[in-house]
Structure 1
Amino acid sequence: MRLRVVAVGKPRLAYARLGVEEYAKRIGRYAPLEVLFVKGEEDLLAKAEGHRKVVLDEKGKLLTTEGFLRLLQGWEGERVAFLLGGAEGHSEAVRKAGDLLLSLSPLTLQHELALLVLMEQLYRVLTLRAGHPYHRP
Structure 2
Amino acid sequence: MKLRVCVIGKPKLAYAKAGVEEYTRRLQRYGKLELLYLKEGIPVQEGQRLLEASEGYRRVVLDERGQLPDTLAFKARLEAWELEAEKGVAFLIGGAEGHTQAVRDEADWLLSLSKLTLQHELALVVLLEQLYRVETLKRGEPYHR
TM-score, length of structure 2 as denominator length: 0.90
TM-superposed deviation, 1:30: 2.0
Q: Counterparts of 1:97 and 1:21 in 2: how far apart (Å)?
A: 29
**Identity of paired residues, percent?**
62
1:110-121 map, 5 Å: 110-121=119-130
Secondary structure of 1:74 counterpart: helix
Alignment length (residue pairs): 136
Asked whether 1:82 is paired with 2:88, we answer no
Q: Counterparts of 1:37 and 1:18 in 2: how far apart (Å)?
A: 16
Q: Counterparts of 2:33 and 2:99 in 1: how far apart (Å)?
A: 23
Which position in structure 2 is the counterpart of 1:47? 53
TM-score, length of structure 1 as denominator length: 0.96
Q: Counterparts of 1:133 and 1:72 in 2: how far apart (Å)?
A: 20
Secondary structure of 1:75 counterpart: helix
| Runs (5+) with no aligned partner, structure 1 | none
TM-superposed deviation, 1:46: 0.5
Which position in structure 2 is the counterpart of 1:132? 141
Which position in structure 2 is the counterpart of 1:93? 102
Contact 1:30–1:127 under 8 Å retained in 2: no
Q: Which runs of 4+ in 1 moved over 2 A?
A: none
Which position in structure 2 is the counterpart of 1:64? 70
Which position in structure 1 is the counterpart of 2:27? 27
Which position in structure 1 is the counterpart of 2:10? 10
Q: Counterparts of 1:129 and 1:29 in 2: how far apart (Å)?
A: 14
TM-superposed deviation, 1:35: 0.3
**RMSD (Å), alpha carbons:** 1.0
The CA deviation string for residues 80-125 of structure 1, in whole angstroms up to 9 with x for no partner, is 0000001110000000011100000000101100000000000001
